[in-house]
Structure 1
Amino acid sequence: MAMNEILGGSVMISLLSIVLAMIVGALLIALTDPVVQSSAGYFFARPGDLFNAVWQSVSGAYSSLFQGSIYNFRRPDFADGIKPLTQTLTFATPLIIAGLGIGLGFRAGMFNIGGRGQMLIAIGIAGWIGFSFDLPYGVHMIVAVIGGMIGGALWGGLVGLLKARTGAHEVITTIMLNYVAFYLISYLLRTPGALQAPGSNNPKSPAMKDTAIFPKLLGDQYTLNLGFIFAIIATIIVWWILARSSLGFKFRAVGENPSAARVAGINVKAIFVWAMVISGALVGLAGVSQILGNVTTGFSSGIDAGIGFDAITVALLGRSRPWGIFGAGLLFGALKAGGFSMQAAEGIPIDIVLVVQSLIVLFIAAPPLVRAVFRLPTPGVYKTIAPKLKVERI
């Protein structure tokens, strides 16, 4: 019984979805390799050449993926070899934080598709604070972080308020607010005296002041910065909210059944607003980590880098569970960091990594398919085997 629950549970489905996506990715890598295509032309004459070419292509690609995201064995010492891991953690930081915000909204029954807009508003506010004010070191950074989180919270809270007051569906409002935020930030970046750098004709902000930039955790030779600590703290806080607080219980109750929660005395409309406020604040923190942790020369309207949408994938892979989202963010950070290495070392199109990410979500969204491929049991369904009665003729 317990083994059936483990084998057919959501964690196993997520892990096997990753395995399936990597297998399909290996097939695509092999099919797009010129050497494999060439050896396939004389397969019946020398079939070993094709198998060897496929092995070299796939193993080389995934080896480069590992060395570009975890540890590079070609580097002379450990300090250099570990740089890919720090790059993975850097890429994973905004994905984890934004994924936590999206996942918290999912748990409350709110489909927050507005991560991009919430990030851009937070980036605009935090960036403006970062280059406009002269504040002491540490204080400047904290003010910028708080300002960005407030911006994201207000942009997300607006969605919750519209849902509570008018019944407007959050998917529609978040998508529309994405466009509003994008064009608003784009306009401000082209407006002198707003976000545009003085004396520049390009839609780009001034550079952030050193007092607002996140410090590097392991020294200037690594990209890993304070944002990763914020990601760990945010994961712990969201876990506590959902698992240990009365507010988290209300989030989960409303997410499971709003009507039943209303009958139980929960103010469902207030929960909609609070869920989107906290969700927007977390996504805003992801935007702050993107601008203050990775950008030192100013930012443009594309600074969000699609993280707001990737965070939806991270939240889905993590099953909207805080530590699951943390692990999913690390995985996608590794795919992102290793994808560039795979492209540079083996000539593999970076689009293959995007396909793998999409396939992971596809398989997660189709648990019956994964169970059918790996012949896994369905949780909660058990076979009852009746004992056979042996009747002897007297």
Structure 2
Amino acid sequence: MSQPAGALPGWANKALLPALNIISAFLVTGIVFLMIGESPIEAAKIMLYGAFGYQEGFGYTLYYTTNFIFTGLAVAVAFHAGLFNIGGEGQAYIGGLGAGLACLALDAYLPAWILIPLAVVASALFGAAWAFLPGYLQARRGSHVVITTIMFNFLASSLMVYLLSHVLKDPGQMSSSSREFAEVAWLPFIHNMLAGMGISFDESPLNVSFFLALVCCVLVWLLIWRTRWGYELRTVGSNSTAAVYAGIKPAKVIIWVMCLSGALAGLVGVNEILGVQHRLLLDFSAGYGFVGIAVALMGRNHPVGIVLASLLFGALYQGGAELAFDMPNITRDMVVMIQGLIILFCGALEFMYRPLLVRLLSSKAA
């Protein structure tokens, strides 16, 4: 079927356009590096080596990637239903609380094969519960989900400060954190699993939650494009009025989609609390919920694109840390600037190259 006037082929919209936006962001970054007297080529080499050049660095890259997959999927699921969930930060925070409470209460009584699945389910349920009220207010009271999810981010932060300062704090610690979980509540590290198979791999925070993130990608794809619930979700996102005529109840869809989105964001707590920290502590979410918005936009709200975008941001996090260490003129703030430029070009300037591509591809077709 021929493309309508002004439309791009699917491959150009999903691959070529994001690639041009990312290249533009890196070109602007290179100009900034030249202005401060640093070689952009050398900086790129350091970043690539830091992210992929040695085992420990690659492990850290995939560890960051795991968190971004969870939050990117959370944003994408809501976006397909016409909702803009920017509360992933708070939902991840509360999801970690759920996982932590399960471990604190049961790690002395249950074996790992029961405790860890329970903690994973608790993480998802707590994240879903934290997203339920914004979804309910949007569906039943007309309160905009953007406003309510922003508010709930701050509420989650305040709740965690109170709990870890007055309720869950380990009496033997100066910092605001819980006691360390028993080892039965720890997710296996990938380097330990590989060592058990006779494969040497440097230590890193990468753990089996990475595979959980990949499984979630498959399940989200199946849900959105291969089930009746996915059809209802996409119909509400495309035209809620038409959805009503099709017998779909938009309010009901909004509520369960927000709960699902919150559950996916809450799984960040699995990676951070069960996989790495092994205790509840403040600020473990570290902005992953907000970066998930950029990941979903760059990945075109598709699981495959989200994995690739998450890998890019994971490489920026890890490679940027190496860059700030090896090049004193390039601070951590400049690494954040690189991330901001990518978000700018892939978000606000997402369709900057679209008219040019339409003209080029149309003339080629003609």
- TM-score, normalising length: structure 2: 0.89
Distance 1:160 1:145 in 2: 22
CA contact (8 A) 1:4 1:378 kept: no
Distance in 1, matches of 2:14 and 2:360, equals: 9
Q: Distance in 1 between matches of 2:116 and 2:226?
A: 30
Match of 2:55 in 1: 82
The whole-number CA distance in structure 1 between the counterparts of 2:10 and 2:133 is 40
How many pairs are equivalent? 349
Name the structure 2 match of 1:366. Answer: 349
Aligned with 1:158 (options 106, 119, 133): 133
| Selected match of 2:154 from 174, 179, 192 | 179
1:122 alignment partner in structure 2 = 95
The answer to whether the Cα contact below 8 Å between 2:59 and 2:205 also exists between their aligned partners in 1 is yes
Is 2:26 the partner of 1:22? Answer: yes
- Are the aligned partners of 2:50 and 2:322 in contact in 1 as well (CA < 8 Å)? yes
- Which amino acid is the alignment partner of residue 55 of structure 2? I
Contact 2:91 2:266 survives alignment (8 Å): yes
Q: Distance in 2 between matches of 1:154 and 1:363?
A: 34
CA–CA distance in structure 2, aligned partners of residues 131 and 274 of structure 1: 29
Match of 1:211 among 178, 184, 188: 184
| Alpha-carbon offset, residue 210 of structure 1 | 1.1
Q: Distance in 1 between matches of 2:154 and 2:17?
A: 35
1:62 corresponds, among 40, 44, 57, to 44
Question: Retained in 2: the 8 A contact 1:99–1:311?
Answer: yes
Q: Match of 1:218, SS?
A: helix
Is the 1:152–1:283 contact (alpha carbons within 8 Å) kept by the matching residues of 2? yes
Cα separation, 2, equivalents of 1:368 and 1:241: 28
Aligned CA-pair RMSD: 2.2
- 1:171 CA displacement: 0.6
Mapped partners of 2:359, 2:184: distance in 1: 55
Q: Which has the higher mean CA deviation after the structures are superposed, 23-32 or 88-97?
A: 23-32
Task: Report what 2:255 is aligned to.
Answer: 273
User: Quick one: which amino acid aligns to residue 294 of structure 1?
Assistant: V
The correspondence of residues 297-316 of structure 1 with structure 2, limited to 5 A, is 298-316=279-297
CA distance in 1 between counterparts of 2:153 and 2:360 reads 39
C-alpha distance after superposition, 1:219-268 (max 9, x if no partner): 27233201100011000000110111111111111111111111211111
- In structure 2, distance between residues paired with 1:238 and 1:286: 16
Q: Which runs of 4+ in 1 moved over 4 A?
A: 1-4, 378-385
Amino acid at match of 1:187: Y
Which residue is 2:199 aligned to? none
1:380 positional shift: 9.5
Q: Secondary structure of the residue that 2:353 maps to in structure 1?
A: helix
Match of 1:139 in 2: 114
**Contact (CA 8 Å) 2:67, 2:268: kept in 1 or not?**
yes
Q: CA deviation at 1:287?
A: 2.2
Query: C-alpha separation between the residues in 2 aligned to 1:231 and 1:224?
Result: 12
1:7–1:376 CA contact under 8 A, matched in 2: no
Maintained 8 Å contact 1:123/1:284: yes
* 1:6–1:12 Cα contact (<8 Å) kept: no
Aligned pair in 2 of structure 1 residues 349, 244: CA closer, same or farther (>3 Å)? same
1:173 CA displacement: 0.8
CA distance, structure 2, for counterparts of residue 366 and residue 161 of structure 1: 32
> Unmatched 5+ residue regions in structure 2?
193-201
**Matched residue, 2:241:** 259
Alpha carbons of structure 1 residues 84 and 241: separation in structure 2 relative to 1, 3 Å: same
CA–CA separation in structure 2 for the residues paired with 1:382 and 1:162: 49
1:65-86 CA-partner distances (Å, limit 9, x unpaired): 0110011xxxxxxxxx333222
In structure 1, distance between residues paired with 2:313 and 2:305: 12
Stretches of structure 1 that go unaligned for 5 or more consecutive residues are 37-53, 72-80, 386-394
When you count helix as a share of all residues, which structure comes out higher?
2
Contact 1:262 1:268 (8 Å CA) reproduced: yes
Deviation, structure 1 residue 161 = 1.2
